[in-house]
Amino acid sequence: MDTTTIVKPSPSQRLAELEAQLLQRDALIAQLQQRVSELEQRLTEWEQAAKRQATPFARKQRTENPKRPGRKAGQGQFTSRTRPTLEEVTDTKEQGLDVCPECGGSVTDLKEHEQFVVDLPEVKPTVTRYLTQSGHCATCGRRVRSRHPEQISQATGAAGVVIGPRAKGFAADLKHRLGVPYGKVAEVLSIGFGLPASRGGLCQAGVRLARQARPAYDELLKLIQQSAVVHADETGWRIGTLSAWLWVFTNRDLTVYTIETGRGHEVVLKMLGESFSGILVTDCFAAYDHHAFADWLKQKCLGHLLKDLSEFQEVKTGGAVRFARDVTSVLREALKLRDQKAKLVAVDFTAQVAQLETRLDALIDARRQLTDPDNIRFAKRLRKHRPHLLRFLHVDDLDATNNQAERMLRPAVITRKTGGCNRTPAGAATHSILASILVTCRQQGFSIIDSLIKIQRNTGSTFKSLAPPV
Cβ neighbours for 236, distance < 8 A, ≥ 6 positions apart: 243, 244, 245, 246, 416
Say whether pLDDT at 228 is over 90: yes
Reply yes or no on whether the pLDDT at 230 is more than 70: yes
Q: What is the value of pTM for the model shown?
A: 0.78
Share of the chain above pLDDT 90, in %: 62
Going by C-alpha positions, the residue among 386, 357, 391 that lies closest to residue 280 is 391
Cβ–Cβ < 8 Å for 182, 430: no
| pLDDT bucket at 51, cuts 50 / 70 / 90 | low
Q: What is the pLDDT of residue 127?
A: 92
pLDDT tens digit sequence for 361-392: 999 999 998 888 999 999 999 999 999 999 99
Query: What integer pLDDT is reported at residue 72 of this predicted model?
Result: 76
Asked whether residue 118 carries a pLDDT value surpassing 80, the answer given is yes
CB-facing half-sphere around the CA of 17: CA atoms within 13 A: 6
Q: What is the pLDDT of residue 14?
A: 80
At 20 the pLDDT is: 86
Please tell me the predicted confidence (pLDDT) of residue 122. Answer: 87
What pLDDT, on a 0 to 100 scale, did the predictor assign at position 59? 60
Query: What's the pLDDT tens digit per position in 304-319?
Result: 999 999 998 888 888 8
pLDDT in tens, 184-206: 999 999 999 999 999 999 999 99
Model confidence band, residue 2 (pLDDT cutoffs 50, 70, 90): low
Burial of 452 per CB tally in 10 Å (0-12, 13-18, 19+):
buried
Which amino acid is residue 382, in one-letter code? L
Rounded to 5°, the CA angle 334-338-339 comes to: 120
pLDDT for residue 348 is more than 60: yes
pLDDT in tens, 405-437: 999 998 888 888 877 889 999 999 999 999 999
Q: What is the pLDDT of residues 150-182, one digit of tens each?
A: 888 888 888 888 889 999 999 999 999 998 999
Q: Where are the domains of the chain?
A: 140-291+415-470, 302-401
Would you say residue 470 has pLDDT above 80? no
The confidence score (pLDDT) of residue 466 equals 85
Which band of pLDDT confidence, cut at 50, 70 and 90, is reported for residue 56? low
- Using the predicted structure, report yes or no on whether residue 255 has a pLDDT greater than 60: yes
Q: Are 135 and 144 in contact (CB under 8 A)?
A: yes
Mean pLDDT of all residues in 283-287: 93
Task: Tell which residue, 271, 273, 257, 258, has the closest CA to residue 440.
Answer: 257
Please say if the pLDDT value at position 237 is more than 60: yes
Query: Mean pLDDT score of the chain, rounded to an integer?
Result: 89
What integer is the mean pLDDT of 7-12?
A: 76
> Considering the chain, what percentage of its residues have pLDDT values greater than 70?
95
Confidence of residue 404 (pLDDT cuts 50, 70, 90): very high
pLDDT at residue number 55: 55
Nearest to 278 by CA among 307, 308, 249: 249
